[in-house]
A and B are shown apart, each in its own frame.
Chain A
Amino acid sequence: MQVVNERELVERCRLGDERAFEELVDRFKDLVFGLIARTVQDRSRAEDLAQDVFLRIHRGLPYFRGEARLSTWIYRIVANVCAQDQAPREAMVSLDDDRMSGRSMPSVSDRRFSDLELRDRLEKAIVRLPANYRLLIAAHYLDGARYEELAEALQLPLGTVKTQLYRAKQQLRRMLETELK
């Protein structure tokens, strides 16, 4: 994304240009929706939250001074919206407990899961991660966000971001132990 255009767009939005804001939504909708849809499984809920993010952007633009990149600021808003959303929902996550807890271990011949099944298992495992890990995984593998950018957006030290990502993946690896073989 060209920085000059971004600044110009923000400036127009600040002056109350509705078309400019529409363009901003168009430009960032896949990033915002993608991030949220990867942490919240329900699509319509994800859309609601993504819209919330843009409402906050709209309200916050007059105060956005442009020291950070627009996308970094947007990441931060997504993180806040997700954090506020996850608390009451944590208990509602539906799980495929049989498989996940290993109560019924798949037989050796079942162990070769197709990619599709594996992906499905992955999504279910990700839902079981703590919300901050979920968002980190979503952001890191989306749009190739650099560690530095994630650290800035989440206001965490660089080392913490790396460690948390490794831990998240370690947890996933353990949850998917049988399926990954």
Chain B
Amino acid sequence: MLCTEVLDALEPIAAGELTPDDRIAAHLASCPHCAAALEDARRLEQILQARPMPRAPAQFTSRTMARVRRARWRTEQFLDLGFNVTLGLVLLAILGSVWLVLHRSGLVAVSNDAVALLGTGLVTLARRVAPTVPLYAGATALLVTALGIWWWAERELT
């Protein structure tokens, strides 16, 4: 049996995880080099097992908790910022779409001509407003979505 084969088996033997078979035992009995290496392996196993266990420093928990709190605070700040920016954008979009609706439907003019319109009757108003219904629906949907996001974000954060 070759020394290299035996040398590869020394660690499991030293750890008590492998019982040397007859061939290995015979080699170990006759080869002083391998026998000495096994002794080394056993000694190493011993000092590894006796290796002192480093203990955490006294203030470890409090220092760790301080870092955890700082990290949490930073996350909250970040979420707050993100939430506010999102909300701002959504409001901007709503205002934009409302402006668009008023502009396209000519309702700005309507409010100016309100008195006159009352005179010409509701039929005219309905006729003028009817084509802009999809736009109103769009704006409403946007508003509902924005409120939904707001509600969801509030729920997530609390």
Residue ID in chain A nearest B38 by CB atoms? A173
Contacting pair A55 B47 (CB below 8 A): no
Contacting pair B37 A169 (CB below 8 A): no
Q: A47 is contacted by which of B37, B60, B65 (Cβ under 8 Å)?
A: B60
Contacting pair B56 A58 (CB below 8 A): no
Contacting pair B41 A173 (CB below 8 A): yes
B66 to chain A, nearest CB (A): 9
| Cβ contacts B1-23/A at 8 Å (1 or 0 each) | 00000011011101100000000
Give the tally of cross-chain contacts (CB within 8 A). Answer: 101
B113 to chain A, nearest CB (A): 58
- Tell me, in angstroms, the Cα distance from A59 to B74 when the chains sit together: 13
Contacting pair A119 B47 (CB below 8 A): yes
Query: Mostly helix, strand, loop or mixed at chain B's interface?
Result: helix
Contacting pair A55 B71 (CB below 8 A): yes
Query: Mostly helix, strand, loop or mixed at chain A's interface?
Result: helix
B43 at the interface (CB under 8 A from A): yes
Contacting pair B48 A122 (CB below 8 A): yes
Contacting pair B48 A141 (CB below 8 A): yes
Given A25-B61, A166-B12, A30 contacting B40 (CB threshold 8 A): no
- Tell me, in angstroms, the Cα distance from A39 to B49 when the chains sit together: 16
Q: In which size bucket is the chain B interface?
A: 35 or more
Q: A166 is contacted by which of B11, B48, B52 (Cβ under 8 Å)?
A: B11
A21 at the interface (CB under 8 A from B): yes
Given A21-B68, A29-B56, A180-B40, A137 contacting B48 (CB threshold 8 A): yes
Q: B60 is contacted by which of A33, A118, A165, A172 (Cβ under 8 Å)?
A: A33
B58 to chain A, nearest CB (A): 11
- Tell me, in angstroms, the Cα distance from A103 to B68 when the chains sit together: 48
Given A47-B60, A51-B64, A141 contacting B41 (CB threshold 8 A): no
Q: Which residues of chain B come closer than 8 Å to A43, judged between CB atoms?
A: 54, 57
Q: In which size bucket is the chain A interface?
A: 35 or more
Residue ID in chain A nearest B67 by CB atoms? A51
Q: Which residues of chain A come closer than 8 Å to B7, judged between CB atoms?
A: 170
Given A29-B60, A33-B60, A51-B67, A173 contacting B44 (CB threshold 8 A): yes
Contacting pair B41 A54 (CB below 8 A): no
Where the two chains meet, the residues of B that have a C-beta atom closer than 8 Å to any C-beta of A are 7-8, 10-12, 14-15, 36-37, 39-41, 43-45, 47-49, 51-57, 60-61, 63-65, 67-69, 71-72
**A-B pairs with beta carbons under 8 Å apart, 6 shown:** A33-B55, A51-B64, A166-B11, A169-B11, A169-B41, A169-B48
Given contacts A166-B11, A173-B41, 18 further A-B contacts (CB under 8 A): A18-B65, A25-B61, A25-B65, A30-B56, A33-B60, A34-B54, A46-B54, A50-B64, A58-B68, A58-B72, A115-B47, A162-B12, A169-B15, A169-B44, A170-B10, A170-B11, A180-B44, A181-B40
